[in-house]
């Protein structure tokens, strides 16, 4: 399954801050429909993706009935992205 969407980068401030992009509702619904086939526990969904020209691997995190994409510092640096920036994400989920 391949999904493409654009969202704003936001920060979760915890003991170790994380940066995320929220998966829009329509795409989150498609992921949820396939989640039983791909989750490895706790609702985490392994994905490969791209932000701009930078490829990455990560796992989608479930949040508030949807999913968020964590954006590693290396991806943000490579693309010159920061909090509040809009970024187009392409996700590939092996179903």
What is the pLDDT, as a whole number, of residue 41? 79
Residue 29: CB atoms within 10 A of its CB come to: 12
The residue among 26, 24, 9, 94 whose CA lies nearest residue 59 is 94
Residue 42: CB atoms within 10 A of its CB come to: 8
Task: Record the pTM.
Answer: 0.91
Domain ranges of the chain: 2-14+22-76
Q: What is the mean pLDDT of each run of 10 residues along the chain (95 residues)?
A: 98 88 97 89 92 97 95 97 98 92
* Residues 1, 17: Cα–Cα separation, whole Å: 29
């Amino acid at each position: 399954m391949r999904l493409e969407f654009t969202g704003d980068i936001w920060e979760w401030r915890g003991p170790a801050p994380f940066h995320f992009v929220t998966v829009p509702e329509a795409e989150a619904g498609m992921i949820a429909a396939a989640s039983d086939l791909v989750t490895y526990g706790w609702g985490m969904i392994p994905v490969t993706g791209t932000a701009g020209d930078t490829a990455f691997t990560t796992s989608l995190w479930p949040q508030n009935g949807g999913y968020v994409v964590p954006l590693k510092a290396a991806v943000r640096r490579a693309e010159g992205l920061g909090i509040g920036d809009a970024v187009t994400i392409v996700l590939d989920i092996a179903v």
